């Protein structure tokens, strides 16, 4: 399940823009392939909506969600993306 440690809305200035998707290598599609391009992402999104869409009511509205699993070694993959940029006390 994705519970990002980066809030993609409020931390917008802290996110480094690159050609590689933020979760590339940490999420794979239903065929086991990493998702780099829009076409694969769209196909996977359609698959998720057809197979994993959940709904619940909070009394006022219906809330829809899907759960996207991370690959088993996602922490290792994420650790390779960390770069220290002049943090005090760190090499």
**In the chain, domain spans:** 22-79
Rounded Cα distance, 43 and 7, in Å: 25
Within its chain, how far is the Cα of 74 from the centroid?
11
- 56 is written with which tokens? 């619940």
What is the average pLDDT across 2-13?
55
Least confident of 3-12, 30-39, 42-51: 3-12
Q: Which tens digits make up the pLDDT trace of 37-91?
A: 999 999 999 999 999 999 999 999 999 999 988 888 777 777 766 654 445 555 5
């Amino acid at each position: 399940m994705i519970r990002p440690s980066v809030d993609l809305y409020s931390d917008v200035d802290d996110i480094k823009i690159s050609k590689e998707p933020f979760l590339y290598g940490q999420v794979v599609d239903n065929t086991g392939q990493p998702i780099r391009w829009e076409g694969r992402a769209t196909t996977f999104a359609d698959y998720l909506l057809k197979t994993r869409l959940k709904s619940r009511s909070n009394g006022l509205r219906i809330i829809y969600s899907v759960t996207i699993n991370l690959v088993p070694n996602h922490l290792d993959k994420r650790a390779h993306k960390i770069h220290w940029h002049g943090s005090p006390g760190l090499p």
